[in-house]
Amino acid sequence: MTRLGAVMCEAIIHHYGRDELLRRLAHPFWFQSFGAVMGMDWHSSGITTSVVGALKRGLTPLSGELGIHVCGGRGAHSRKTPHELAAIGERVGFDGEGLGTASRLVAKVDSAAVQDGFDLYLHGFIVTDDGS
């Protein structure tokens, strides 16, 4: 999953740009299809977690070349998202602190409103070098 996902993302970025990859990843049907192509069962309950984890492992070594970064993950990794955003922002020049604040707010709304008191299991944040 890691290698296939990274190669597919790399091809999309080279042919259509980073913003197009973000647009596609944000589309629920496309994301579900992407996970199925990467090897997950269509109705798998862990498809989001698996895709985000595979993309983080596959795209992190290519982030300098591609200009895209996958932050967060499941469990304890989810709570590192704001710090990862700040570190990347400092390195490449976008407002990582601001995106970290957005990350915290989204996680708070998700755990307090959507999850209704259950712990947040997965929190991922995909950002480009220009802060998109």
What pLDDT does 116 receive? 62
Mean pLDDT of 98-126: 80
Q: Measuring CA to CA, which residue among 132, 130, 110 is closest to residue 120? A: 110
Mean pLDDT of 30-59: 90
What band does 108 get if pLDDT is binned at 50, 70 and 90? Answer: confident
What percent of the residues of the chain are helix, what percent strand, and what percent coil, each to the nearest 5? 70, 10, 20
